[in-house]
A and B are shown apart, each in its own frame.
Chain A
Amino acid sequence: ILNVEQSPQSLHVQEGDSTNFTCSFPSSNFYALHWYRWETAKSPEALFVMTLNGDEKKKGRISATLNTKEGYSYLYIKGSQPEDSATYLCAPNQAGTALIFGKGTTLSVSS
């Protein structure tokens, strides 16, 4: 089972602040890295799937980068809004295996 670390565990910011989270994973046998957003009382929702070293993905104010050689990915949120409040999960996998999720970073944005 992969060891996936996410930091910080939780984060509280003010509306308009920009923020970023870290996901660390074993770099050996890397296949893909997924980011999910999980709002309270809902299901996890896919944000990005990243496969290549140096990948950068963007969706609106949210973006992510990937470094497979050193085993980390960053998720950035620019100009946080209250609706960004959620738990953000990262999940790497190796070929032929299911995603292994980190415990997540819980973001709370105050207006």
Chain B
Amino acid sequence: NAGVMQNPRHLVRRRGQEARLRCSPMKGHSHVYWYRQLPEEGLKFMVYLQKENIIDESGMPKERFSAEFPKEGPSILRIQQVVRGDSAAYFCASSPLEGRGYGYTFGSGTRLTVV
């Protein structure tokens, strides 16, 4: 039973390029969460999605960032026109139901470096 799969593990982009981060939740999990870890910071919430729905995107920057979780396929976090400040580790987590009685399962993260 594969866990949460994130790819790529490492991504290098030049300023102005687009970054696409993928997350496949655990089998049977329908809730996906994206978090960002900036240097010297903890895990910052970005967006909470269910299949084909954005439940809460209050942690997403208003510009250049978007997320989706289509009916088929992985969840995608997309960052357009990346800047150096976007360099961070991006973690995806999934849960079978909303997180009252169920812990989240985290992926290994994607480390984005903008040069």
Chain A interface (Cβ within 8 Å of chain B)?
1, 31-32, 34, 36, 42-46, 49, 51, 89, 93, 95-104
- Chain A binder among B15-23, B63-71, B94-102: B94-102
State whether A51 and B100 are in contact (beta carbons under 8 Å apart), knowing that A1-B45, A44-B106, A101-B42 are contacts in the complex: yes
Instruction: For A49, list chain B residues within 8 Å (CB).
Output: 99-103
For chain A, what secondary structure do more than half of its interface residues adopt (helix, strand, loop), or is it mixed? loop
Chain B interface (Cβ within 8 Å of chain A)?
33, 35, 41-45, 48, 55-56, 58-59, 91, 93, 98-109
Asked if A32 contacts B104 (CB within 8 A), the reply is no
Asked if B42 contacts A98 (CB within 8 A), the reply is no
Closest residue of B by beta carbon distance from A48: B103
Asked if A32 contacts B99 (CB within 8 A), the reply is yes
Asked if A89 contacts B42 (CB within 8 A), the reply is yes
Instruction: For A101, list chain B residues within 8 Å (CB).
Output: 35, 42-45
